């Protein structure tokens, strides 16, 4: 990104003042090095978002941002329904509620070392992965609607998990306000055989070891210690979420034309929150969130089953589950008062600070866990939300490393087989459906996740707690 376009606010914060049709400024978080690595399109897209009706305070850009559909990925924006605020399908994205959850195991690296290859093989066998992969669970129309309303709660009622899991998932594992009738039959058909599947792209299931603790007191509250084995899952709402995005983007383009909403670009198609279309999209998008929560819950069950084959008495409690790619109604401080806003987080994580009422009671003192995924050969991180994040970006933080190059360019740079071999030499076992997919997701195709996390920590968007190192990675 061209730095001369930005005004420096602090070492970790930069801004583009409102100009032209922009209603609010753009605020970009990150070090100078991180921002220089962002493509110029991020500044353009964030400025376009700042022009949308009803936007409040600023259009925010997280340190892991990169070019996306309409909104930049790593973009955060809140809209006021009482000021003609809008909801944008492009501002949520196609992979609705793509997110990360991490499970504790109580194991140490020495416990899995003797069975590491067998564990990798069995995880790969039991977790359906890859483009269009199908699982063993097939839903009829009636059960599909129940899943879209119930989310992870529905999955646990079907036997895929434990009641206590719900306490460690945003919204208690069930997003209220979901409307299955607002989801097209095509979206439901695409999802009918995809429950409990990982998908492809940057989605993964990874066995990790806690490599370093940065804050002992908070790590203890989260029950994590150096040397612990944990398992992280990164995936979303699969075909259903993609189809909801596709369906509503078409409708929103027509709606914006009809209502004469001036769009800086077509991909920012949106509808007033209070309109019939806005309400229908919210109902469908919330159903997509529940689909993702149910999907990660079923994958959790499959992973627990595999671990219990090797360790019969293992329990594997859930540390936390966070969603990206959502629009949520939240209370935030505006001009000294409290206001309900519709907060879009596209490729960004909610990061409530200590004491927030929506944090589980036993984690309230720590702040909401923020789980940052790496990319096969790189570290992942655990952070917690801060009290400052509310003021800085509506309690939001980064979600991952963020791509540094396109998949097509990555394919020209690397061969999947060579990446798998080089990572194995470092003790990281990769099991993947496609070598092409491994090349597309090469670790160096992403920004340095450690730099991104450090930038988020220094900006006080979230506080760094622990580093996770990969041992086994199952890729789609």
CA dihedral 292, 294, 299, 304 (to 10 degrees): 140
Task: Tell me whether residue 379 is annotated as binding.
Answer: no
- In degrees and rounded to multiples of 5, residue 461 shows phi and psi of -70, -35
User: What is the rounded distance in angstroms from the CA atom of residue 70 to the CA atom of residue 89?
Assistant: 9
Is 73 in contact with 55 (CB distance < 8 Å)?
no
User: What is the rounded distance in angstroms from the CA atom of residue 16 to the CA atom of residue 59?
Assistant: 10
Task: Tell me whether residue 380 is annotated as binding.
Answer: yes
Task: Tell me whether residue 457 is annotated as binding.
Answer: no
Is 429 in contact with 473 (CB distance < 8 Å)?
yes
How far separated are the first and last CA of the chain, in Å rounded?
A: 32
User: What is the rounded distance in angstroms from the CA atom of residue 247 to the CA atom of residue 189?
Assistant: 14
Task: Tell me whether residue 38 is annotated as binding.
Answer: no
User: What is the rounded distance in angstroms from the CA atom of residue 204 to the CA atom of residue 408?
Assistant: 20
Task: Tell me whether residue 290 is annotated as binding.
Answer: no
User: What is the rounded distance in angstroms from the CA atom of residue 64 to the CA atom of residue 34?
Assistant: 8
Task: Tell me whether residue 374 is annotated as binding.
Answer: yes
Task: Tell me whether residue 95 is annotated as binding.
Answer: yes
Task: Tell me whether residue 206 is annotated as binding.
Answer: yes
Task: Tell me whether residue 324 is annotated as binding.
Answer: yes
Task: Tell me whether residue 373 is annotated as binding.
Answer: yes
User: What is the rounded distance in angstroms from the CA atom of residue 268 to the CA atom of residue 45?
Assistant: 9
Catalytic residues: 399
Residue 234, sorted as left (phi over 0), alpha (psi -120 to 50) or beta, turns out to be beta
User: What is the rounded distance in angstroms from the CA atom of residue 315 to the CA atom of residue 304?
Assistant: 8
Task: Tell me whether residue 47 is annotated as binding.
Answer: no
Task: Tell me whether residue 82 is annotated as binding.
Answer: no
Token pair listed for 210: 């806690």
Task: Tell me whether residue 450 is annotated as binding.
Answer: no
| b/e sequence 28-56, b meaning 16+ C-beta within 10 Å | bbbbeebbebbbeebbbbbbbbbbbbbbb
Task: Tell me whether residue 375 is annotated as binding.
Answer: yes
Task: Tell me whether residue 337 is annotated as binding.
Answer: no
Helices (runs of H) and strands (runs of E) counted in the chain: 15, 19
The length of the chain in residues reads 476
Task: Tell me whether residue 399 is annotated as binding.
Answer: yes
Task: Tell me whether residue 401 is annotated as binding.
Answer: yes
Binding-site residue numbers for GMP are 202-206, 324-325, 373-376, 380, 399-402, 475
Binding-site residue numbers for Mn(2+) are 95, 203, 234, 324
Binding-site residue numbers are 95, 202-206, 234, 324-325, 373-376, 380, 399-402, 475
């Amino acid at each position: 990104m061209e730095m001369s376009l930005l005004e420096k606010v602090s070492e970790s914060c930069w801004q583009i003042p409102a100009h032209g049709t922009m209603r609010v400024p753009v605020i970009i978080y990150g070090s100078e090095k991180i921002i220089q690595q962002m493509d110029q399109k991020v500044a353009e897209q964030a400025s376009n978002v700042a022009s949308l009706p009803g936007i409040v305070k600023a259009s925010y850009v997280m340190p892991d941002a990169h070019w996306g559909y309409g909104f930049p990925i790593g973009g955060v924006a809140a809209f006021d329904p009482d000021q003609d605020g809008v909801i944008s399908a492009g501002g949520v994205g196609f992979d609705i509620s793509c997110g990360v959850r991490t499970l504790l195991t109580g194991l140490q690296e020495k416990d899995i070392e003797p069975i590491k290859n067998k564990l990798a093989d069995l995880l790969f066998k039991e977790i359906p992965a890859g483009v269009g992969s199908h699982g063993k669970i097939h839903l009829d129309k009636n059960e599909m609607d129940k899943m879209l309303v119930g989310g992870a709660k529905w999955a646990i009622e079907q036997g895929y998990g434990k009641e206590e899991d719900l306490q460690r998932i945003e919204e208690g594992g069930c997003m209220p306000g979901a409307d299955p009738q607002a989801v097209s039959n095509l979206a439901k058909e695409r999802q009918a055989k995809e429950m409990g599947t990982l998908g492809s792209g940057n989605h993964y299931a990874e066995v990790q070891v806690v490599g370093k603790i940065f804050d002992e007191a908070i790590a203890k509250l989260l029950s994590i210690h150096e040397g612990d084995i944990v398992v992280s899952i990164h995936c979303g709402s699969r075909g259903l979420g993609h189809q909801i995005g596709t369906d509503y983007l078409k409708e929103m383009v027509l709606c914006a034309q009809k209502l004469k909403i001036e769009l800086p670009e077509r991909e920012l198609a949106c509808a007033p929150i209070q309109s019939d279309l806005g309400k229908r999209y919210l109902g469908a998008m919330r159903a997509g969130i529940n689909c993702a929560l149910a999907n990660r819950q079923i994958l959790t069950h499959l992973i627990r089953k595999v671990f219990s084959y090797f360790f019969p008495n293992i329990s594997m409690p859930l540390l936390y589950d966070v969603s990206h790619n959502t629009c949520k109604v939240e209370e935030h401080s505006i001009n000294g008062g409290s206001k309900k806003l519709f907060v879009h987080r596209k490729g960004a994580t909610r990061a409530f600070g200590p004491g927030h009422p929506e944090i589980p009671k036993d984690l309230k003192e720590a702040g909401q866990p923020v789980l940052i995924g790496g990319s096969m050969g790189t570290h992942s991180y655990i952070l917690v939300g801060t009290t400052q994040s509310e003021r800085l970006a509506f309690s939001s933080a980064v979600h991952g490393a963020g791509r540094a190059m396109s998949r097509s360019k990555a394919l020209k740079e690397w061969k999947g087989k060579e990446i798998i071999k080089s990572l194995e030499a470092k003790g990281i076992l990769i099991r993947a459906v496609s070598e092409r997919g491994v090349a597309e997701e090469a670790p160096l195709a992403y920004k340095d996740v450690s730099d991104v996390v450090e930038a988020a920590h220094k900006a006080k968007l979230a506080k760094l707690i622990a580093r996770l190192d990969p041992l086994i990675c199952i890729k789609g």
